[in-house]
Structure 1
């Protein structure tokens, strides 16, 4: 997979950056909510809680920093 530098000048317009940023924020909120629910369910059943990587949270944060 190629690694693109979205922070380089001219790659994205300010409007495109804003749209992508808003989309990543929305995705982060939804994934975090799903993670919280999964943790509650796992703990209530005596299982170990899932990892944040199972929900892609570190990846979303990394992409957010790149924009």
Structure 2
């Protein structure tokens, strides 16, 4: 089980309560900036929306092919 800080969709905490990005739109925006490691970790997040998983897979392919900046 990953800690909140290890979750690529972790956005911070307030008074010890972790907060995460849950909406598809916000997650898709975050994926655009993910590193290879963040992509791999994100694919293991429980409850990951299918469209987000597809975006992560595409981002991972871009990064491993050297297409992304």
State whether TM-score is above 0.5.
no
Select the structure with the greater relative contact order (CA < 8 A; seq sep ≥ 6). 1
Structure number, greater radius of gyration: 1
TM-score w.r.t. structure 2 length?
Answer: 0.37
Q: Kindly indicate which of the two structures has a greater share of residues assigned to strand.
A: 2
Structure with the larger helix share: 1
